[in-house]
Structure 1
Amino acid sequence: MKNKLIAANWKMNLDSEQSEQLFEQCAELAKCISPTLVICPPATYLQTGNKRLANSGAFLGAQNVNQNRAGAFTGELSANMLKDCGCKYVIVGHSERRAQFGENDELVAEKVKILLDNHLIPILCIGESETQRHLGLTDSFVTYQIDSALALVDESQIHKLVIAYEPIWAIGTNKTASITHIEQTMSTIVKHLINKYQQNVVDKSIHVLYGGSVSDKNCEAILSLDVVDGCLVGGASLDFNKFEKICRANVQPLATAQ
């Protein structure tokens, strides 16, 4: 069975002292639990994270990447720069980037491509709006997002990939999708990936996470679903006590994990 993956998206939060403390807590946690932990801090704390997470079993991730290898792109970070900071994972296609910074499907596809070309693992975010959900377009929209984001890569490049299903209407709103909705939509995603890349590729190389107001209160039910390989956690990842409960939900202690 695939190991669970819990990714923390700190977004634009915390100061240097707070982030350092949280890195240290996450590093200790990673040593005694079976899920794979990925911590995605603001870019200013990446190098600190690389030092604090070293040899803990937790991995460092970034929240964004530029689609170009290098050049006159003031304020941007390249895939190679992120690797130099110790990153292994990078979030792309988050609905906040799409909505607030105008990132379209073509740009997301370019970012996925540059990450895979540089042996970094994309955490590809997909999810429907509330209007699309009410119109019954959830399944068709999320499968479209997958196809468009992966349009520039082929199966041979999918050594590792993370897809995070985050319904837009549930991000930072305290509205969590029902367990039935999560199971149905993520089953659609998994089936689509199997049709696209075959069962063995999905089983070995792709994690499918749920995100969208994941908390210490709803994580047990979410992580109990067979189609859920883990969670992408936003606000709750800033509170270590809440984040620890999420990381420990429905998993075996490290000593007995297979």
Structure 2
Amino acid sequence: MKNKLIAANWKMNLSAVQSAELFKQCASLAQTVPSDLIICPPATYLQMGNSMLESSGVHLGAQNVNQNLAGAYTGELSASMLKDCGCAFVIIGHSERRTQFNESDEIIAAKVKAAIENSLTPILCIGESENQRTLGLTNSFLTYQIDSALSLVDKTQMKNLVIAYEPIWAIGTNKTPSIAQIQQTMTTIVKHMYKKYGENFTDSSVHMLYGGSVSDTNCQAILSLDVVDGCLVGGASLNFEKFEKICQASVKPSLVAAK
């Protein structure tokens, strides 16, 4: 049975002093919670995180990766550079990257390929807009996003994969889908993965996370769903007391209900 996975996306927040304190707190937290923790700080703090999280059991993740191995890409970081900083995970396809930085489906697929070929586990973000949900396009759009992002790799290359469902209209808005909506949507995602990649791969190697205004007040209900293997936490991960409550939520991971 897989452990629950709680990933923290700090986005473009915190100073060096604040980051050091939060790294220290998360390193201690990992010793007391059953969930596996991933911290994704700004790139400037990756090496600090690698040092402070060493031997704590907390995994380090990056918020972005360039799809190219090397070259004249000013301001970018390659997958091998992230590995050198101690990263095991990388967030790919976050809606903020898709919209604010015009990342296309083709770019996201290339980033997934680059991550996997450099032994980084992608945290692949997918999610629909409020208009798409209203029009009844949620399921078809999400399965399209998955297939597009994984189009350059096959399951023989993928030892591990994280899929984070984040409805765009719920990110940073304090609005979340109902528990019934989360259950239905994530069941669709899981069933699609079973059909495309096989249940053995999905059961053992794929974590299905929910993200989008996850808080210390709604995490218990979300994490108790059979089809939710964990959460991708944004704003609440910057507040240690809130993040601690999310990580301590008592849960029992299982994908059996989705088969």
- TM-score normalised according to structure 2 size: 0.96
Q: What are the equivalent positions in structure 2 for 1:14-163 lying under 5 Å apart?
A: 14-163=14-163
Give the secondary-structure state (helix, strand or coil) at the position aligned to 2:246.
helix
Q: Shift of residue 49 of structure 1? A: 0.2
- Matched AA of 1:11: K
Number of equivalent positions: 252
Q: Deviations over 1:64-114 (max 9, x none)?
A: 000000000000000000000000000000000000000010000000000
Contact 1:163–1:207 at 8 Å: present in 2 too?
Answer: yes
Please name the residue that 1:250 is paired with: 250
Identity %, equivalent residues = 72
Give the secondary-structure state (helix, strand or coil) at the position aligned to 1:226.
coil
Q: Using the alignment, how far apart are the partners of 2:230 and 2:251 within structure 1?
A: 11
Q: Using the alignment, how far apart are the partners of 2:238 and 2:156 within structure 1?
A: 36
Please name the residue that 1:189 is paired with: 189
Contact 1:60–1:86 at 8 Å: present in 2 too?
Answer: yes
Superposition misfits of 4+ residues, deviation over 2 angstroms: none
Q: Using the alignment, how far apart are the partners of 1:35 and 1:158 within structure 2?
A: 22
- TM-score normalised according to structure 1 size: 0.97
Q: Using the alignment, how far apart are the partners of 1:250 and 1:36 within structure 2?
A: 13
Is 1:241 the counterpart of 2:207 in the alignment? no
Give the secondary-structure state (helix, strand or coil) at the position aligned to 2:69.
coil
Give the secondary-structure state (helix, strand or coil) at the position aligned to 1:44.
helix
What is the root-mean-square deviation of aligned Cα atoms in Å?
0.7
Q: Shift of residue 51 of structure 1? A: 0.6
Give the secondary-structure state (helix, strand or coil) at the position aligned to 1:153.
coil
Contact 1:34–1:251 at 8 Å: present in 2 too?
Answer: no
Q: Using the alignment, how far apart are the partners of 1:46 and 1:237 within structure 2?
A: 16
Q: Shift of residue 14 of structure 1? A: 0.1
Q: Shift of residue 251 of structure 1? A: 3.7
Give the secondary-structure state (helix, strand or coil) at the position aligned to 2:12.
coil
Q: Using the alignment, how far apart are the partners of 1:34 and 1:158 within structure 2?
A: 25
Q: Using the alignment, how far apart are the partners of 1:20 and 1:82 within structure 2?
A: 19
Give the secondary-structure state (helix, strand or coil) at the position aligned to 2:88.
strand
Contact 2:224–2:251 at 8 Å: present in 1 too?
Answer: no
Q: Which runs of 5+ in 2 are unaligned?
A: 253-259
Q: Using the alignment, how far apart are the partners of 1:235 and 1:37 within structure 2?
A: 16
Q: Shift of residue 250 of structure 1? A: 1.7
Q: Using the alignment, how far apart are the partners of 2:224 and 2:99 within structure 1?
A: 31
Q: Deviations over 1:22-78 (max 9, x none)?
A: 000000001121111000000000000001110000000000000000000000000
Q: Shift of residue 174 of structure 1? A: 0.3
